[in-house]
């Protein structure tokens, strides 16, 4: 595995791979790797000749009172995991390498961001889109791999890849969970023991609402109320949002049909957890979880 720290070297390497007709699969991460990240690498290994992973905790997607400083980091461990799982190039730039001077233009995402994390974290998706524009231009991947754990991020990326004619295919991968159902996340280490014990309830309640949909409940407000009641009586964390929206457009609707996202965010003492399920309600009323 090659570790690259400069933009210039990364651009040269990518150019070399492309000139020898190798396809490039790219996995963007903020590090502190877990099986969720590695499932993306695994998927990329199956389809692409070269797998490039970036590790970069991007300051522009964190708000002033968010966890940029305390975001977990362990580069040595990440290196070993990336290499053992078949990453060919690990791109690990510094903040000044990625943002050498003040930006002269900014990416501002105008759709799919006035709800969920975009509403709770103003500017977050502008930061995500800005850094991904940089990475996509530096690496020129053929395919990019993103997790449905961050379903709103996927919706935003899908939008800008289309808007700006990026010659890149987006591959989405399912959420990898702990044995008790909690979605794997680098941030889980910042939960207290008590919080970690109750956090699986979030997914449990998502599943209970899915069962209601399977049993024919179609009223969005009723379903939202049910999950808010169930969650608030079962956890100590503060519910940031519970939403049931169309996917990927992320618009409100009264009755659920077609592809929908049921998404939850819960604020614990040091960590904000997000989780979601994507449901497709077919013409014959069959409900399938993606
Ligand atoms: P992050 O390091 O949290 O920015 O995540 C990097 C990539 O890994 C994103 O595409 C995430 O959606 C994906 N990812 C994070 N957690 C999981 C998970 N539990 N299952 C699948 N993908 C994940």
Look at residues 181, 210, 209, 176 and name the one whose alpha carbon lies nearest to residue 196.
181
Residue corresponding to tokens 């099986």: 35
Q: Which of 37, 108, 124, 137 is catalytic?
A: 37
**69, 220 in Cβ contact below 8 A?**
no
- CATH number for 2-173 (one of 3.10.20.90, 1.10.3720.10, 3.40.50.620, 3.30.420.40): it is 3.40.50.620
184 C-beta closer than 6 A to ligand 1: yes
37 a catalytic residue: yes
- Give the integer Cα–Cα distance in Å for 156 and 136: 15
**157, 132 in Cβ contact below 8 A?**
yes
Per the prediction, the chain carries an average pLDDT of 97
**What are the beta bridge partners of residue 171?**
145
Whether domain 186-289 has CATH 3.30.1300.10: yes
φ, ψ (nearest 5 deg) of residue 239: -70, 120
- Give the integer Cα–Cα distance in Å for 81 and 38: 8
pLDDT at 157: 98
pLDDT tens digit string along 243-283? 999 999 999 999 899 999 999 999 999 999 999 999 999 98
* Two domains, one topology: 2-173 and 186-289: no
- Give the integer Cα–Cα distance in Å for 165 and 208: 40
- What separation in Å is there between the alpha carbon of 171 and the centre of ligand 1? 13
Domain borders along the chain are 2-173, 186-289
pLDDT band at 71 (very low <50, low <70, confident <90, very high): very high
pLDDT tens digit string along 206-220? 999 999 999 999 999
């Amino acid at each position: 595995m090659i570790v690259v720290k400069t933009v210039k070297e990364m651009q040269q390497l990518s150019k070399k791979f492309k000139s020898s007709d190798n396809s490039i699969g790219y996995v963007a991460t903020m590090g502190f790797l877990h099986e969720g990240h590695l499932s993306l690498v695994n998927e990329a290994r199956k389809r692409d000749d070269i797998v490039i992973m970036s590790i970069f905790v991007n300051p522009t997607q964190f708000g002033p009172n968010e966890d940029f400083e305390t975001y977990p980091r362990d580069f040595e461990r990440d290196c070993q995991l990336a290499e053992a799982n078949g990453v060919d190039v690990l791109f690990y730039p510094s903040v000044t390498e990625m943002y050498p001077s003040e930006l002269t233009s900014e990416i501002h995402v105008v759709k799919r961001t006035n709800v969920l994390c975009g509403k709770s974290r103003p500017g977050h998706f502008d930061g995500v889109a800005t850094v991904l524009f940089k990475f996509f231009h530096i690496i020129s991947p053929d395919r990019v791999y993103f997790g449905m754990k961050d379903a709103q991020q996927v919706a935003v990326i899908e939008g800008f890849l289309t808007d700006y004619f990026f010659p890149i295919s987006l591959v989405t991968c399912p959420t990898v969970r702990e044995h008790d159902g909690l979605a794997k996340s680098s941030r889980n280490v910042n939960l207290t023991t008590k919080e970690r014990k109750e956090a699986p309830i979030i997914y449990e309640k998502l599943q209970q609402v899915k069962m209601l949909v399977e049993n024919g409940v179609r009223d969005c407000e009723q379903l939202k109320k049910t999950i808010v009641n169930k969650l608030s009586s079962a956890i100590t964390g503060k519910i940031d949002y519970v939403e049931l929206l169309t996917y990927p457009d992320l618009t409100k609707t009264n009755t659920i049909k077609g592809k929908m996202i049921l998404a939850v965010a819960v604020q614990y003492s040091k960590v904000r957890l997000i989780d979601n399920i994507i449901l497709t309600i077919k013409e014959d009323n069959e409900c399938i979880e993606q």
